[in-house]
Amino acid sequence: MLIVKKFGGTSVADKDRIYNVAQRCIEDYREGHDVVVVLSAMGDTTDDLISLAKTINPEPKKRELDMLMTTGEQVSVALMAMAMDAMHVPAVSLNAFQVKMNSTSRYGNARFKSIDTKRIRHELDSRKIVIVTGFQGVNKYEDITTLGRGGSDTTAVALAAVLHADKCEIYTDVDGVYTADPRVVKDARKLDAITYDEMLELATLGAKVLHNRSVEMAKKYGVELVVRSSLNRSEGTIIKEKVKMEKMLITGVAADKNTARISVIGVEDKPGIAFRIFNTLAANNINVDIILQSVGREGTKDISFTVAEDELKRALEVLEEYKEALTIQDITYNAKVAKISVVGAGMMSNPGVAAKMFESLYNSRININMISTSEIRITVLIDEKDIEEAMNAVHEGFALALVE
Amino acid sequence: MLIVKKFGGTSVADKDRIYNVAQRCIEDYREGHDVVVVLSAMGDTTDDLISLAKTINPEPKKRELDMLMTTGEQVSVALMAMAMDAMHVPAVSLNAFQVKMNSTSRYGNARFKSIDTKRIRHELDSRKIVIVTGFQGVNKYEDITTLGRGGSDTTAVALAAVLHADKCEIYTDVDGVYTADPRVVKDARKLDAITYDEMLELATLGAKVLHNRSVEMAKKYGVELVVRSSLNRSEGTIIKEKVKMEKMLITGVAADKNTARISVIGVEDKPGIAFRIFNTLAANNINVDIILQSVGREGTKDISFTVAEDELKRALEVLEEYKEALTIQDITYNAKVAKISVVGAGMMSNPGVAAKMFESLYNSRININMISTSEIRITVLIDEKDIEEAMNAVHEGFALALVE
């Protein structure tokens, strides 16, 4: 069996943890499996390097920032190979140049284009554990790129895809994917399995276990993922195309506080105005999420929408700049809002899900500001202060904790 | 003009020093020159990485140690490019993969085999300052290697050679090459120029300004070197094939305390015995320096020789192991010895140099233990305690301080 195992920065933050990771990889190796390990930079290394860069130049060029940051993973992989060597297991570390992890040109946010498997195959064939730097690629100029947030997960999934790995294990500091954040909902239950689509909805909504891009790539190439803890032996959560329904409508409840509502008041009720508003925001790289349009006074319209809270300031600036052209009379906003979502492939064939969710929130006297739905997700916007109560209410409403 | 400039770890140890180096490079660039900069890792980074490695594995594989250590120069070059960018000068950092600095396979002590100039030329043609990682290469397995001690100097000379640079400046924390160590001999004078051969003799003897390999390479490819300070504007010392004689017999006086004398007593006076002794030491990677053979008691011979002090223990172990086979009756040693040498191309045509040296030492009542000579060097072994007095006596004897 060929297993790709990815460990994040906290899992390799010090000597003991490096040895812990080495041990887990060696167990698979000793059972006769081929093992490819993908590592992030140790602990806070990446942040430290960015801080160092900013002391030299407050706005470093992304090309040079990538050149700098990628040293972090190279340190991790070299140390891991040394640890395995100390444990008498042949291992070899490889960086993006050595593997030939070809990426698009865009520094700081590159995508993989192709990965050469020859070197890795050669090392596996000579029965070595292969340890690869996560997060990094090489573009057509032969410059180092980084993949942006969640990049090491993407590296692991990409390697699993091109190597046709039997398993791709993503190790984190949680046991797996939960029906809700266990720090908020104490009855939250670990899921044995979840579909790619459900995971994508959860990841987008801030479940933070896996980055979207890695799940999208896993879905595209049919790579079966396992999310599990590097700190214990729990089985984790499998993420795949189809999951046996466990009589559950809903897979999980997710919250996202990084959201803000903006309302543009009294815009002309003419065709194309809404389009121009959202087009202007998009042209400024501001992603709009939930949209609600309502009739305003004297034949005008009010349009409300949500943006990520950290993009609120820029969104307001853009709207202010184009206020007149967009026929906006007034702009209001509220950063103290949050999204709560229920996700589940089961809701496609069950029309009562939305009603159930609204009922749970109503019973807890929680006000709903806006609503957005997809085939397998219902999201509502509520006041930020209500978020914990809302999560528990919804979780309980769907009895997520009870179904086994 | 194409100028290669190399700065060591202390020259890039912090933000201010990085900016100082950037400034000096930019001055040449603004005069219209093409500038290639070679950097070492910042400050103690390399030592820190080695210490980190040893906490993971006391005897790390050299391949992985090279993988680890080479991140140090990559950090330096990326930060330097950021500094130059902040000063509004286009710059690009390149590592050994990007330049294609092909080396032999030997990790920790590789040699350059070929260097591709295409990428550097391309960047210079678009009027960028090119900043290259020193100390590292890539071998035929596409693995990272390091060049061993003085590696960054070698990188600079190698780049100057393949790029046919007009100048190769090696920046250090001293003003240039002196007639003697100025910390010991207060009248020591900075040399304006010195030949490759003289520099090689001085480097071997512990002058520590430049590593031998870089001087050998410069001689082989006719690269004119300049050793100068990164801290001031002093002109430094030029190292080239031929230097105008300044009515000086001697270019410099050098001392080396890292030496120990071993005597093997009472070996059989048979052909081949001496050969077998030195062959045995060579097979164990122990370099022998000065050799003195004398007649011992009862038809036996005594053989004395010097080794580097840090190889003394191992040399004694080897001799002890083969004592019987080598017909050695007794082994004595003395680590409290030092070598003092005078170097100068002028002595080839002046027979009085040795006599002058011995006279200077005799006048100071310094005892000579052993003598070794080359065409342009005379070395004597003395007691370590006498070294400072000896250096001053010899320096004065040849009036090195007075000749201008």
Ordered DSSP codes for A74-123: HHHHHHHHHHHHHTT--EEEE-HHHHTEEE-S-TTS--EEEE--HHHHHH
**All structural domains of chain A:** 2-172 (3.40.1160.10)
pLDDT tens digits, A134-192: 999 999 999 999 998 889 999 999 999 999 999 999 998 888 998 888 888 988 888 99
- Statement: residue B64 has pLDDT above 60: yes
- In this predicted structure, the answer to whether residue A383 has a pLDDT above a threshold of 80 is yes
Is ipTM beyond 0.90?
A: no
CB contact under 8 A, A56 and B93: no
Which residues from B are below 8 Å from A97, CB to CB? Answer: 97, 142
Looking at the predicted structure, is the pLDDT value of residue B39 above 80? Answer: yes
H-type alpha helices, B41-70: 45-56, 62-69
- The C-alpha atoms of residue A9 and residue A41 are separated, in whole angstroms, by 5
User: Residue B326 carries which DSSP code?
Assistant: T
Which positions in chain B touch A98 (Cβ < 8 Å)? 142-143
Q: Is the Cβ–Cβ distance between B25 and B5 less than 8 Å? A: yes
Residue A175 is encoded by which pair of tokens? 């046991």
> Which three-class secondary structure state does DSSP give residue B342?
strand
Residue of A42, A50, A56 for testing the chain B interface, max B β-carbons within 10 Å: A56
Name the average pLDDT for chain A.
91
Quick one: which of B222, B256, B263 has its CA closest to B239? Answer: B222
Residue B70's pLDDT is what? Answer: 98
Residue pLDDT, tens place only, A217-246: 999 999 999 999 998 898 999 999 988 765
Count of pairs with CB atoms under 8 A, one residue in A, one in B: 103
d(CA B26, CA A30): 56
DSSP-assigned beta bridge partners for residue B377: B343, B374
Q: In 3-state terms, what secondary structure has residue A349? A: helix
Which stretches of chain A sit within 8 Å of chain B by CB? 15, 18, 49, 52-53, 55-58, 60-61, 63-65, 67-68, 70-71, 74-75, 77-79, 81-83, 85-86, 92-93, 95, 97-98, 119, 142-143
Query: Is pLDDT at B5 greater than 90 in this prediction?
Result: yes
User: pLDDT digits over A287-337, tens only?
Assistant: 888 888 777 777 788 889 999 998 999 999 999 999 998 999 999 999 999
Distance CA B177, CA B191 (A): 6
Share of chain B above pLDDT 70, in %: 97
Cα dist from A235 to A38, A222, A232, B85, B301, whole Å = 20, 20, 9, 49, 75
Q: Is the pLDDT of residue A349 over 70?
A: yes
Query: Min CA distance, A3 vs chain B (Å)?
Result: 23
pLDDT at B60 over 80: yes
B282-298 residue pLDDT tens: 888 888 888 887 777 77
Convert B343-364 to b/e letters by CB count within 10 Å (16 or more is b): bbbbbeeeeebeebbbebbeee
In the block, which residue shows the tokens 């294609």?
B100
Place of tokens 């122990």: B286
- How many whole angstroms from its chain centre is CA A349? 27
Q: Say yes or no to pLDDT of A92 above 90.
A: yes
Centroid of chain to Cα B360: 28
Highest-pLDDT range among A268-272, B208-212, B395-399: B395-399
Give the mean pLDDT of A65-79. 98
Predicted TM-score (pTM) of the model is: 0.84
Q: What is the rounded CA–CA span in Å between residue A217 and residue A172?
A: 19
A contact test, residue of B82, B132, B145, B146 with most A CBs within 10 A? B82
Strand ranges for A218-354 from DSSP E: 225-229, 237-240, 252-268, 288-295, 300-307, 330-343
Give me the pLDDT at residue A205, please: 67
Query: For B150-185, how does the pLDDT look when each residue is reduced to its tens digit (9 = 90+)?
Result: 899 999 999 999 999 999 999 988 889 988 888 888
Confidence of residue A404 (pLDDT cuts 50, 70, 90): very low
Q: What confidence score (pLDDT) does residue B404 get?
A: 44
- Per residue in B22-37, pLDDT (tens digit) is 999 999 999 999 999 9
Residue A207: predicted pLDDT: 64
Put simply, the answer to whether A56 touches B142 (Cβ < 8 Å) is: no
pLDDT of amino acid B206: 62
Closest-approach residue (CA) in chain B for A88: B57
pLDDT at B187: 87
Least confident of A319-328, B84-93, B119-128: A319-328
Whether residue A372 is predicted with pLDDT greater than 70 in this model: the reply is yes
